[in-house]
Amino acid sequence: MKKCPKCKDNMKLVQFDAGYGVTIESLHCNKCGFNITEEGSLENAIGTLKENMSREIKVVQIGNGLGIRIPNEIAKNLNIHKGDEIIVKPDLNGIRLVTDCKHHLNKNQAK
């Protein structure tokens, strides 16, 4: 059993639900509330989360162009709304949709 680095109390292994069937394990101290998430376990969980959120969708015709329908649960999770602007980025595997448009552009301008 690991000891809390702050108060030396025993730490308890806890799991929290990150959604989409992904749980993240971490050590928690009940006495002072100190929390340690094992190195790499958060990245692993995020990787699994992305994988579990992946959906196959159909390309549809919109006017003269093509469109894709963003699944509701992804739109909800990423806070995407009608009228929002997103960046379409060609990628090695296809295209990437970047949602934090303004943040992304500002970051590039700051460099």
Helix (H) or strand (E) holding 51: helix 41-53
Tokens for 59? 């390309």
CB 22 within 8 A of CB 45: yes
Among 2, 3, 7, 67, binds Zn ion (CB under 5 A): 7
Measure the CA–CA gap between 69 and 72, rounded to whole angstroms.
Answer: 9
Which of 3, 31, 69, 89 is the binder for Zn ion (CB under 5 A)?
Answer: 31
Choose which of 26, 34, 74, 78 interacts with Zn ion (CB under 5 A): 34
CA distance 70 to 67: 10
Q: Please, what is the minimum distance in Å from the beta carbon of residue 12 to Zn ion? A: 10
Does residue 26 interact with Zn ion by CB under 5 A? no
Stretch that binds Zn ion, among 5-13, 52-60, 69-77, 95-103 (CB under 5 A): 5-13
Query: Per CB under 5 A, does 6 bind Zn ion?
Result: yes
Q: Three-state DSSP class for 85?
A: coil
Q: Candidates 24-32, 50-58, 59-67, 71-79 — which segment interacts with Zn ion by CB under 5 A?
A: 24-32
What does the alpha-carbon distance between residue 36 and residue 88 come to, in Å, rounded to a whole number? Answer: 37
Which residues lie near Zn ion (CB under 5 A)?
Answer: 4, 6-7, 9, 29, 31-32, 34
